[in-house]
Amino acid sequence: MDDAPGGETTPVVSAVDVTRTYTRGDTGMFGRGSAPSVQALDGVSMSIQPGEVVGIEGPSGSGKSTLLHLLAALDIPTSGTVSLAGTATDQYSGRERTKLRLEYVGIVFQRFHLLPSLTARSNVALPLVEAGWSKSARRDRATELLSDVGLDTRTTHRPGELSGGEQQRVAIARALATEPALVIADEPTGELDSQASTRVLELLRRITDEDRAVVLASHDPQAIEACDRVVRLHDGQVRERTAPQ
């Protein structure tokens, strides 16, 4: 990333006093015409620097997934500011945010979102199609990434022919395809055994050596221990920031 004025490094992504409120509906138990809401995040601020692996920890319902969606520009805050590539995400149109994610963010979804009709290699190469890579370059890049996650013998298998852990690794390889500056991962080791988890976490650590950043939400102690620091959420608020022991 470029240096900011004064020699400071520009964060890969930052959030300043971010809230996110979801409206449940217009009527019901709360009275006709009312709009009851849930505040998923409340005044969250954080800054992720190049080279960092940052863990997001907290109980179910604490706001982890909502925060990941905001940092990845999949959503915009109700108030406050999330900045990617030095610009507030709410300043982009929906189409511009889609282009920003393609160029700047790799996302590992908890439910994988692999296309069942495509092979593992074709699933990994999908972002490269949108990015305009040639067919041969897409094939080489996808093959390389599948080898990195230990799936070099499964490149032509479709998701239905892969275990849950193998599908998880395909999803991780896909998130890394465009060499994004920011990788957002929701439970990236949730379906993996200890050996596969170690391999994936080593890969995520290795890409930060290239001045990228990783933000991961996890309940897995092994994943949390691999982080440089941990942000703990509770009821939509940051309760503590710690470095793993």
Q: Taking the domains of the chain in order of start, what are their residue ranges?
A: 51-73+91-242
Name the range with the highest mean pLDDT among 17-31, 83-97, 200-214. Answer: 83-97
**pTM summary value:** 0.85
CA proximity to 217, closest of 63, 19, 45: 63
CA proximity to 181, closest of 102, 75, 125: 102
Window from 21-30, 218-227, 235-244 with minimum mean pLDDT: 21-30
CA 16 – CA 5 distance, rounded (Å): 19
CB atoms near residue 243 (< 10 Å): 8
Q: What is the pLDDT of residue 41?
A: 94
Averaged over 175-179, what is the pLDDT? Answer: 92
Token pair for 30? 């709360």
Could you give phi then psi for residue 70, rounded to 5 degrees? -70, -45
Confidence category of residue 199, pLDDT binned at 50, 70, 90: confident
Averaged over 17-35, what is the pLDDT? Answer: 67
Confidence category of residue 125, pLDDT binned at 50, 70, 90: very high
Averaged over 1-14, what is the pLDDT? Answer: 66
State the CATH architecture for 51-73+91-242: 3-Layer(aba) Sandwich (3.40)
**Amino acid, single-letter form, for residue 92:** Y
Looking at the chain, the number of H-run helices and the number of E-run strands are 7, 10
